[in-house]
Amino acid sequence: MPPATPARAVPRRTAAVLTALALAGGGLTAGAAASAASTAAATPAAAADSPVRVNQLGYLPDGPKRATVISSATTPLTWQLRDVSGSQVASGTTTVHGADRASGHSTHLVDFGGYTGTGTGFTLVAGGQASHPFDISASLYDGLRADSMSFFYQQRSGIAIDASLAGSAYARPAGHLGAAPNKGDTSVPCQAGVCDYRLDVRGGWYDAGDQGKYVVNGGIATWEIVNSFERARRSGGDTALGDSTLRVPERGNGVPDVLDEARWELEFLLRMQVPAGKPMAGMAFHKMHDDKWTALPTRPELDAEQRELHKPSTAATLNLAATAAQCARVYNTYDPAFAARCLDAAERAWAAAKANPAVLAPAADNTGGGAYEDADVSDEFYWAAAELLATTGESQYQAAVTSSPHHAGPVDGFWWGGTATLGRITLATVPGVALAPDDVTRLRGLLTSAADHHLSTMAGQGYPVPITADAYVWGSNSAVANNAMVLAVAYDLTGAQRYRAGALESLDYLLGRNALDRSYVTGYGERASENQHHRFWAHQNDASLPHPPAGSLAGGPNAGLEDPVAKAQLAGCAPAACYVDDIGSYSTNEVAINWNASLAWLASFAAERRSAPTAPAVQVTPPAVTVPEGGSAAVGVRLSAAPAQNVTVTLSRSSGDADLSVAAGTTLVFTPSNWATAQQVRLSAAQDADALAGSAVFSAGGSGVTAATFTATEADDDSAPPAASCSVAYKLDSSWSSGFTATVTVKNTGTSALSGWTLGWGFAGDQKISAAWNATVTQSGSAVTARDAGWNGALAPGATASFGFQAAYSGANEAPARFTLNGGVCA
């Protein structure tokens, strides 16, 4: 196969990036930029496939850079990375992977991550064959972030699509507002027997290639779009999703454009709620679409079929409760009145779902639109409760979360029919959620465990992707993107680079590093899909209509072959190759709002500018410790952040008194999962005859970490203080994982009264007192001094005084070995 030339790909890829940059920076008018994107999306993709499979858009300078080569060779091949002039800039040899089950290919892997340059028009050559051209750039995903979101504007119902925003090829009148021949969405009747009234359910997004509107799919799509903003706000990347960053008519209104877009669907979801005073008030109608399947192609404004509301369902109601609760939390900063509307709708929906917990949508209701049936809504109950808890903190939602079987179970893949993991993500990431800290930590651990499972799956494949060979089903690309989101969430929770690398390599798959050498995203890549199943973006059926716009994600390989075109053209295909770029193959090549929402979330994550990861720092607590002569004391050692891989920390004395040494814990190993847990190091002080209280400086460091130092001081006992007539009882009252309370009782065992007392001791570990009562307590390093409170300072012979304190600690919590009273040692 001849190597592809870069000339065809550059205008398509560059136009998309140029659009986003121009709108963000004001360098072009929106109309000019959108026209460039429109022209780019219409460019045909006729390049031949290549056995050297790459991300056809390119790679981030600080991300993974890997490719797959189809070859039956059993020994490594030589590869070269060439720049746009053809000059070699890097080289190496492949790693033989062998058979890849999902594709049926014999594969080699190439890793050129050591190359740190940037530029356009790179090609990778292996075995005498060249890849399609690609870029290496920090701004690589800026265009896709904007275009994948523009998809939603162009899927809007009930509003004219503006040529200045979408491009002239995509401009159209408003669909389904009642202008003939539309019967409209402003006064829609129910199916027979469902209700005796009409509702205004205008607006929202057309769901997929059809022009129906479904609450259950609108719910997950809306959550993903709004969550992308929530995540970016936590990471500090929300400016890139702010006002005037997207091609939407609301730009410039002071609200982040991504929230403006999501609100278009949220308003529709709110309209789908059964009104007060009607049967099943507070529930949500399951869906709304034509009473028969609309012909392909059909422009939205020319649809003449009757629209109708379908029976309310528990699943739809809980989707409304979840997304409206999320709305109340996120939009409150920008529009408190709208946020209050959302919260009211969410609470009414929750109450209605609790009263109607098993109103299920039937699988047979599939005339004119998809059934979106769901026989198990326990996951939707968990999701809705999680969102309401994160927003309100109320105990009823906390109880619903913690009593759900989904709360303790492993993290599973999410989709419109399985939404529990959306709730887990919210509970694990929203600050201040009303759950016990240990419970939040457990949820975060479940998410990172799921991410590790995805990485393990990817590691065994010739085309690394976070789904198994038997998971190429309808919408497989959505499963890839959703699992990649879990990887990205794990990165946000831990900072471990392997999770970010997994998320980015999932994008590599969607953008061309796959069994078909095809980018499944229109307008992105030399061989990009452009005939997705759609009733308006239908150029393949009608040359007067456009191809799908740049940034539209195809459903992807589906081994089930569930449409006539797939059955005719793909018989005998390997699972990962069961795809055809044909408008008639709705089971492999349709678009959908929930699929594009995942792509938009990932593109936003990938587009964030990130500084080079800094090495985690070693932290030692306490930073100064007193070690009794002939005894020992402990310090706790941990890292400040997760390392990218296992790191070894070595402790040693760097200067000072040779009597002080590390007795236990000289070598510590920290992993990406245990970095935050303090490991104990025990220091000892040798017994000798001198009367010197020496000190020493210790270092704790190693490769991949920033070292720390700490100080140890010997408490010499050769010039012991005088004995005092006293005894001390030290009682541990209560203890938990990170703290404790204790009571100390000092007794005057002498024959003379004391008019005031000062008690001293040293902790052997990292205990740190935070509060005290009935005494004035101060602490310096491990040394503690407690002075009477005045009223309890007089101690007659045989009398006692007690005081208490609360302290934090990690590791061992040993009682003090020695106490002094007014400078003398107690018995």
Q: Which residues are catalytic?
A: 210, 533, 581, 590
Question: Rounded distance, CA 127 to CA 134, Å?
Answer: 19
C-beta separation of 13 from 54 below 8 A: no
Question: Rounded distance, CA 76 to CA 25, Å?
Answer: 46
Residue with tokens 């020319």: 302
Alpha helices in 432-585 (DSSP H): 437-459, 476-494, 497-510, 564-569
Q: Quick one: which of 171, 163, 173, 172 has its CA closest to 32?
A: 163
C-beta separation of 377 from 400 below 8 A: no
C-alpha distance across the termini of the chain, in Å: 90
Question: Rounded distance, CA 360 to CA 316, Å?
Answer: 9
Strand ranges (E), 183-291: 188-189, 198-199, 213-214, 284-285, 287-290
Q: Quick one: which of 699, 698, 700, 706 has its CA closest to 643?
A: 706
Fill in the amino acid letter for 484. Answer: A
Residue with tokens 């600050």: 431
C-beta separation of 119 from 133 below 8 A: no
> What is the per-residue DSSP string for 787-824?
EE-STT--B-TT-EEEEEEEEE--S--PPPS-EEETTE
C-beta separation of 620 from 708 below 8 A: yes
Q: Which pair of tokens denotes residue 177?
A: 């507002």
Asked whether the CA dihedral 406, 409, 410, 413 is positive or negative, the reply is negative
3-state secondary structure 704-758: CCECEEEEEEEECCCCCCCECCEEEEEEEEEEECCEEEEEEEEEECCCCCECCCE
Q: Quick one: which of 138, 165, 339 has its CA closest to 240?
A: 138
- The strand pair at 312-313 and 119-126 is best described as unpaired
Question: Rounded distance, CA 606 to CA 400, Å?
Answer: 35
Alpha helices in 26-141 (DSSP H): 30-42
C-beta separation of 401 from 385 below 8 A: yes
Q: Which pair of tokens denotes residue 401?
A: 């979360």
String of b and e for 637-663 (b: at least 16 CB within 10 Å)? bbbbbbbbeebebebebeebbebbbbb
Question: Rounded distance, CA 468 to CA 454, Å?
Answer: 9
